[in-house]
Amino acid sequence: MLLRKRFSTILILFGIPLLYTLLFGSLYSANIVKNIPLVIYDQDQTATSRTLVQAFADSERYEIVAQVSSQEEVEQYLHNRQAMAAVFVPPHFSKDIKMSHSTQALIETNASNLMFANGVLASSQEIIQTFAAGAGQKLLEGVNQPPAQALKTVAPVRLSVRITDNPTTAYSNFIMAGLSINGLQIAIFLVSCTLLTADYLDLAGRRKLPSWAIIMGKLIPCWLLAIVSGLLCIGMLVFYFKLPFRGNLLQLLLINSAFTFAMSNLGLFISAAAPNVLATMQNTAIYIMSSFLCSGYSWPQFAMNKFGQIYAALLPITYAAADIRSIMLAGHAPNLLRNSALLFGFGCLCLLLAIVVFNLRRKQLAPQCQEGLT
């Protein structure tokens, strides 16, 4: 009976799990984060230092986005998130190696996203060890030591690490803000997606009220309450769970308001277009399950395939969750104003579509409303 009369149920039971398996399997098939944006500050500018730089360039883990000539330029690249790691080669690097003096290269990485930090720490250590072993071997071969003995005798370069934003590499600092924002979007969706669908006939019959007034009457309370809910979530993370908060409240309020505005209006548009509550909740579940994992919050967008990058670009949480984490851990979000403007623009588009769709359906339902009154 189930197979014959409820084919849609069978389709959901098999289709959605297979769809998610295919989606996430393709997104995370790379297994490791590659092409991490890297900036180089080579203060030595010798053949030896360029060999070390080339070792990073040859690694699939890194993509060198710039080679700069000052500490200030390095900090600017890291501050603006144009690079997620930096390599510092000290002056006299080559001379110290040749004089058998110990020297060190410094790597600085942003640990707000542990996917970057863990990849940088592991791969940079491997690169430095390989380079140091080669340099030490050549040094001792030059004084007539056998290659095997030379390799075992000295490794003249050490790696120094500087971790910013999340220096303890705490997993809670990395993940908790995103999970809270995901919980907020679930709550907004569960509320806003049913604001119109549940009592469409009753709303359509209110002839004295224009469609935009009905929509705004639904939107404003939902949006304002969602803003308060978002702030309470962050407050709980900071005051109860002791997560750091290095930004200011205005930054948080701006991105939180933009995100809740976008999500509230997206929910209203779905509510205006969906034929019934069941269809609304099914569409909501499909979106919620995929949005956080595809948003780039944990697994970076540049490591996704093209479909994943396009899908992530359509998700409001993509433009909010990482910014909120950056505000908390780094005290700033380089793309805060741009992302807030995009979210408000997206929200306005969804609001306009919701009004248009709701107005059209009101006209279609007008005869039923008249019959109900008579």
- 147 and 272, same structural domain? no
Average pLDDT over residues 80-93: 91
Average pLDDT over residues 253-262: 97
Residue 291 pLDDT > 80: yes
Residue with tokens 């908390």, as numbered in its chain: 328
- 263 and 154, same structural domain? no
The one-letter amino acid code at 190 reads L
- 318 and 233, same structural domain? yes
- Residue 353: its pLDDT value, please? 96
Average pLDDT over residues 198-224: 78
Domain for residue 15, yes or no? no
Quote the pTM value.
Answer: 0.84
- Residue 368: its pLDDT value, please? 59
Report how far residue 257's alpha carbon sits from residue 266's, in angstroms, rounded to the nearest whole number: 14
Q: What is the pLDDT of residues 128-177, one digit of tens each?
A: 888 877 776 565 555 555 555 444 445 567 788 888 888 888 889 999 99
- 330 and 291, same structural domain? yes
Report how far residue 25's alpha carbon sits from residue 104's, in angstroms, rounded to the nearest whole number: 40
Domain for residue 23, yes or no? no
- 301 and 286, same structural domain? yes
Q: Which of 234, 228, 189, 232 is nearest to 324 (CA)?
A: 234
- Residue 142: its pLDDT value, please? 54
Domains held by the chain: number = 2
Provide the residue range defining the domain that includes 198: 171-373
Q: What is the pLDDT of residues 164-187, one digit of tens each?
A: 888 888 889 999 999 999 999 999
Q: Which of 311, 314, 296, 322 is nearest to 350 (CA)?
A: 314
